[in-house]
Amino acid sequence: MLTEQERERYARQILLFGEEGQERLKKAKVFIAGAGGLGCPIALYLAVAGVGEIRLVDRDTVDRTNLNRQVLHWEKDLGMPKVRSAEAKLREANPDIRIKAVATTIDETNARDMVTGADLIVDAMDNFPTRYLLNREALRSGVPLIHGAIRGFDGQVATIVPGRTACLECIFPEAPPAEVFPVVGTTPGIIGLIQANEAIKYITGAGDLLAGRLLIWDGLAATLETFTVEPRPDCPVCGGEMRP
């Protein structure tokens, strides 16, 4: 049940998807992997939308070079674990939800715990090895994964529904080379909000997901395109096997 305060807080979006949709958001548990350029806008917008439980995981502390894009971290937060800095802002933004902030490196030993009981995994990582780990965990648990990544003015998003769509390794069998990537804050802002929008759609059941589609944002050209991505029968992770 929604409280009076919640009905008022979410009045404008209850007009969109009803109290039933809002109840679904309230019941939802979302694991956001990363509290950086993508994780900050994703966590903020899911928090104010009323996602009942946000699990935010990141190993880093706030550095001044983060501040051009990681909008939940401010000058006063330098040196603080990112998840603590983010948690403080999210609690102020919406005291009606639960924030579980964990300062740790996501690896084989803890990924399963983070996914257990979650309705969704949102990929806000900055490297492909951890993304591949999240993908395997999504396939194992059946929990959908909303992938996003950025560089410079460019970004990509895909929603992976285990058993229904291509998995992350079907789409990207080879990781792009690791680098210190150039980036302006608007790019993770745009891509992170497309991911948050996918999360809200998945939870409320509204609209069409980017399932089986890869969205490509080219910020310099200001173009956005989607391409069909099919499961690869020779994918070493999912084998391209779909549920009947």
Instruction: Write out the residues near another protein by the rule CB under 8 A.
Output: 34, 36-39, 123-128, 148-156, 171-179, 181, 183, 188, 214, 216, 218, 220-221, 225, 227-230
Closest approach of Cβ 89 to another protein, in Å?
A: 18
To the nearest whole angstrom, how small is the minimum distance from the Cβ of residue 194 to another protein? 14
Nearer to another protein, 104 or 127 (CB): 127
In this complex, which beta carbon is closest to another protein, that of residue 14 or of residue 171?
A: 171
Pair 75, 119: CB distance under 8 Å: no
C-beta of 214: minimal distance to another protein in Å?
A: 8
Nearer to another protein, 9 or 59 (CB): 59
CB of 124 to another protein, least distance (A): 5
CB of 173: closest distance to another protein in angstroms? 8
CB of 94 or CB of 130, closer to another protein: 130
Of the pair 20, 218, the CB lying nearest another protein is at: 218
